[in-house]
Structure 1
Amino acid sequence: MTESAQPTASVARDLPGWLHAYSGKVRDLYIPSDGRTDAPADLVSASRVLVVASDRVSAFDHVLEPGIPGKGELLTTLSLWWFDRLTGIPNHLVADHEQVGSTVRELIPAPVAGRAMLCRTLDMYPIECVVRGYLTGSGWKEYVQSQSVCGIALPAGLQNGDRLPEPIYTPAWKAPMGQHDENITFERTVELVGPGIAAELRDLSLALFATAGAIAEKAGVILADTKFEFGADRLTGMTVLADEVLTSDSSRYWDADAWRTGTTPDERMASFDKQIVRDWLAARWDGTGAPPELPAEIVEQTAARYRELLERLTGA
């Protein structure tokens, strides 16, 4: 693929019957138009939201160009697969089709079929519920400096890529668009959502991580870390699992055999996520100004790793 032929990151589009309400780094949200064409799209008043995964890719809080072809569909497929297996907590999915007489009518618009989820709207908690089972990434950098991760003391002598004695919960505050997310203490989550919800989010996150890690292990894959997001059902107040779940964008996945036999961090942490993008960007960009454009080979390698993870986990 030549540079001129590289795909650009997909952008929010007009969808018949839907109003565009919000765009994050990689997802676009729509609400039913209910016949309106130009009214403000209000997520607060809507009972349903269409969550569309784009092909955009982000790293270090920046959206990069070009996008990863097919990424939106791969992430959506993986999220749906995981939602089917995490049955211990309700999630935000609703039926994406309905029976009209003898006809089944699809509720997801054809232009975004395969990369969209129809969900109920929730009162989202302003917390990213991060669970780390292995020492890597920003956690490793902090450990080198302080022998701790997000203020949690860890044993001496750990190396990059080592398994932690037990998974740790390291929440982050979800910053508004354009600002950086911020690691926070558990005590700060208590201040944000109250002691009962803070404890529930921590306990649910650790339990979901344990379940998912065991499933991934059977497929020869290590779930090194991930982040969950939750919201409150507007009618019952019940805590509901939301957003994407356990995708290549929200998680670090490694090849289990490579981890066991590797002698260097690069050999051990053969990843099935966007670490290829992070590593390439970190080696060429100091964080100031606009990030450089991704070369075709990095785009292709990333897409291949996303596909391989889906195939390994699902067996498809």
Structure 2
Amino acid sequence: MSALDLPGYTHVYSGKVRDLYAPLDADGQVVDDQLLLVASNRLSAYDEMLSPEIPDKGAVLTRLSLWWFDQLADLVPNHVVSTDVPDAVSGRAVLVRKLQMLKVEAIARAYLTGGGLEEYRAKGSVSGVALPEGLVDGSKLPEPVFTPTTKAPVGEHDLPMAPDEVAAELGAEVAAEVSRLTRAILARGNEIAAARGILIADTKVEFGVAPDGSGGLVLADEVLTPDSSRFWPAELWEPGHPQPSYDKQFVRDWLTSAESGWDRTAGGPPPELPAHVVEATRAKYVEAYERLTGERF
């Protein structure tokens, strides 16, 4: 993944799906309190980078995050400074405050599925939170549950964290606030999305703090997108089996299908996504954006 040549900016970092650039002042010196966050069209699943890229994905996620930041503004401040960005990344980049990011993946679940379901079947709980008996794949939880994980380096897997581990990493007060905000964001998201025919099963959010430690938690990165959340069509929700989705689950399902032929336990790279999977994935992202925001993409 090669960095773009953006006049007035210098490349700082490339993650799985995002690139960071630092703005330069008139003397060519780095402006150290802001970053340009560029969403690429890259897609990852099962901690693997996939190819080819998904057209328009970066723009869909950026526009959807900006829409959600507005819906959540009364719950938590966010990192957005400006959407006035270079033409080369117009529509898929945001100028943001530079934050010190918390070293915990803040995840909340409103419905039981995925890794949470596996843990529930084994222990009757998720991340140490005891749940009622008799839940199945797709069951709605009594209330959103905070299920944090570690933030693993690229190529390694995130691991579940117990409440005491989160408190040890962040301090008890910050850990409690991260839990409260993560669950509140998912609850607000579902209030809004359910009226538009989408259930948000779970979501991952990122928080940071000002480098000098002043102020409280700031919502960063992306929020309530098909990349960071599981979106289900409400009219098709039926507990007892995996649900159809608007998110990366579509790609995950193909990767583990007989058609892909990929054995993810063998350690080899995943296969190229066929054109029909790329097109359907783009369509899922766009449909989710349009249903939620009421805007044409």
| TM-score for the superposition, normalised by structure 1 | 0.86
User: Once structures 1 and 2 are overlaid, which stretch shifts more, 141-150 or 59-68?
Assistant: 141-150
Structure 1 alignment gaps of length 5 or more: 1-9, 97-106
Matched, 1:306 2:285: yes
Paired residues of 1:48 and 1:120 also in contact (CA < 8 A):
yes
Matched, 1:23 2:14: yes
Q: Measured at CA, do residues 300 and 141 of structure 1 come closer, stay the same or move farther in structure 2, by a change above 3 Å? A: same
What is residue 55 of structure 2 aligned with on the other side? 69
Structure 2 alignment gaps of length 5 or more: none
Secondary structure of the 1:277 match is: helix
Identity of aligned residues (%): 51
Matched, 1:176 2:153: yes
Corresponding letter in the other structure for 1:296 = A
Alpha-carbon offset, residue 154 of structure 1: 1.9
Matched, 1:240 2:214: no
Alpha-carbon offset, residue 150 of structure 1: 2.6
What is residue 14 of structure 1 aligned with on the other side? 5
Quote the Cα distance in structure 2 between the aligned partners of 1:65 and 1:150.
33
Corresponding letter in the other structure for 1:95 = S
Q: Which of residues 278, 298, 307 in structure 1 aligns to 2:252?
A: 278
What is residue 265 of structure 1 aligned with on the other side? 241
Secondary structure of the 1:229 match is: strand
Deviations 1:242-280 (A, max 9, x none): 111111100001111111xx47624xx221111110111
Q: Measured at CA, do residues 292 and 36 of structure 1 come closer, stay the same or move farther in structure 2, by a change above 3 Å? A: farther
Alpha-carbon offset, residue 151 of structure 1: 3.1
Paired residues of 1:167 and 1:206 also in contact (CA < 8 A):
yes
Corresponding letter in the other structure for 1:278 = R
What RMSD in Å do the two structures reach over aligned CA positions?
Answer: 1.8
Alpha-carbon offset, residue 238 of structure 1: 1.9
Number of residue equivalences: 288
Matched, 1:291 2:254: no
Secondary structure of the 1:127 match is: coil
Paired residues of 2:82 and 2:94 also in contact (CA < 8 A):
no
Quote the Cα distance in structure 1 between the aligned partners of 2:239 and 2:113.
15
Corresponding letter in the other structure for 2:245 = S
What is residue 109 of structure 2 aligned with on the other side? 132
Corresponding letter in the other structure for 1:84 = D
Alpha-carbon offset, residue 35 of structure 1: 6.0
Secondary structure of the 1:183 match is: coil
